[in-house]
Structures are given as structure tokens and as C-alpha cells.
């Protein structure tokens, strides 16, 4: 991390080509995370099952195929691989990736300010998954064949990163399942 990630963050904070250094730093961070997961799975816990919990951005199966994504700096039409995509093939085949989304409510941003989940566009992932839901809804997409009721899994959809940033993807390309929480609330620290 000191050799590959921090130099980009230093340049970012110094105002030296911030978008470039955020992207390069983010890529290096995800590469190191993927290396760490591989080491844990193959060396430390080779006979165990693991739960890997991370933000949707980092765990996506094919982040580089996102139609548009928010990379932390701005919207990007040329996304790059993140941790989930950089994992070894064997780990990806054995894994099950769940995207976590919010239908309504609010949460704290990284700076501690409260931010409201924005309304969802008709036909978005949250709009479709939020139909007739209770407090939460889980949708398995892994083994679902294309049909009129699953078409939304196979076609481009908007979904909100952090509940506020519209990103466009084919849901089934990124996740094996979706967990939609009806109403989120800020933590009490």
C-alpha cells in the first residue's frame, strides 16, 4: 500500500491531477484487496468458507463492464476493474456476490453529514425490486433464466450508489443476488 496506493493519495490531496490520482489510487487499493483475499482464501483458510463484505463498488463481479459508474470523483463511462473482478477465477466461481441497496431513508456520509436516499426512477433496480416488499427483500439472480419477469436482470438499469448516485448496469452481470433494505437510518455512532 505504501509503494502503490499512498503516492497517488498524496498527489490527490496535493491537488496534482486529482482525477487521475484518485483513479490510479483506487485501482491499486482494489488490486491489493484482491491479492489479500486470495492469500486469505488459499493460504490462511484453504478449507473454510469465507464471507467477504464490502461496498457494492468493490465487490462487483465485472465493474469494468458498468455502463456508467461513480468512481468517487465523478461519473465515469470507462470504468476499470475493482476487487471482485480482480479475484482469481476459482474464487469468483465459488463465490456469490450480493449487491446491497436502499429504497428510502438516510445515512451518514463519510464526513458525518446525513444524506437522504433520493427518489428512484421508474424501471430502476430499486423501483422494480421495491415492488410489494416488506422491511427487506432478497432476490436471487444467479440461476434465473431470461423471461418476461426476469428481463430487468438482463437489461441496462439505473441503480443508486450510496442511495444518491445513479449508475447504469446490467444487474446480473454485477451481482448474483440483490438485497434491498426498505428504509435505512443513520448509525448512532
Query: Each residue of 116-134: pLDDT tens digit?
Result: 999 999 999 999 999 888 9
Q: How high is the mean pLDDT of the chain?
A: 90
**pLDDT tens column, 10-32:** 877 788 887 777 777 788 889 99
- pLDDT at residue 144 is higher than 80: yes
pTM of the full predicted structure? 0.88
- DSSP 8-class letter at 133: -
What pLDDT score does 78 carry?
A: 75
What pLDDT score does 89 carry?
A: 96
| Domain range summary for the chain, segments of one domain joined by + | 6-94, 98-184
What pLDDT score does 111 carry?
A: 86
SS3 at position 90: helix
Inter-residue contact 86 to 34 (CB < 8 Å): yes
Angle between helices 18-39 and 6-13 (to 10 degrees): 160
What pLDDT score does 132 carry?
A: 82
* CATH code 3.30.70.270 for 98-184: no
What pLDDT score does 25 carry?
A: 79
* d(C-alpha 59, C-alpha 90), whole Å: 15
Tell me the CA distances in angstroms from 45 to 35, 48, 89, 91, 113, one per residue in order. 14, 5, 17, 13, 38
Inter-residue contact 86 to 31 (CB < 8 Å): yes
- Close Cβ partners of 9 (under 8 Å, ≥ 6 residues apart): 21, 25
**pLDDT tens column, 49-103:** 999 999 999 999 999 999 988 766 566 677 889 999 999 999 999 999 999 999 9
What pLDDT score does 74 carry?
A: 62
Amino acid at each position: 500500500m505504501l509503494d502503490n496506493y499512498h503516492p497517488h493519495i498524496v498527489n490527490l490531496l496535493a491537488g496534482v491531477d486529482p482525477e487521475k490520482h484518485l483513479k490510479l489510487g483506487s485501482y491499486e487499493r482494489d488490486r491489493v484487496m484482491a491479492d489479500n483475499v486470495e492469500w486469505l482464501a488459499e493460504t490462511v483458510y484453504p478449507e473454510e468458507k469465507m464471507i467477504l463484505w464490502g461496498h457494492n463498488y468493490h465487490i462487483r463481479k465485472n465493474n469494468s463492464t458498468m455502463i456508467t459508474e461513480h468512481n468517487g470523483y465523478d461519473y465515469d463511462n470507462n470504468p476499470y476493474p475493482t476487487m471482485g473482478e480482480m479475484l482469481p477465477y476459482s474464487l469468483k466461481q465459488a463465490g456469490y456476490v450480493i449487491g446491497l441497496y436502499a429504497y428510502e431513508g438516510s445515512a451518514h456520509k463519510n464526513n458525518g453529514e446525513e444524506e437522504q436516499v433520493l427518489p428512484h426512477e421508474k424501471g430502476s433496480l430499486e423501483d422494480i425490486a421495491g415492488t410489494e416488499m416488506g422491511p427487506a427483500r432478497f432476490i436471487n439472480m444467479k440461476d434465473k433464466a431470461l423471461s418476461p419477469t426476469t428481463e430487468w436482470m438482463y437489461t441496462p438499469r439505473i441503480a443508486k450508489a450510496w442511495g444518491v448516485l445513479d449508475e447504469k448496469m446490467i444487474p446480473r452481470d454485477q451481482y448474483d443476488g440483490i438485497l434491498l433494505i426498505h428504509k435505512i437510518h443513520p448509525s448512532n455512532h
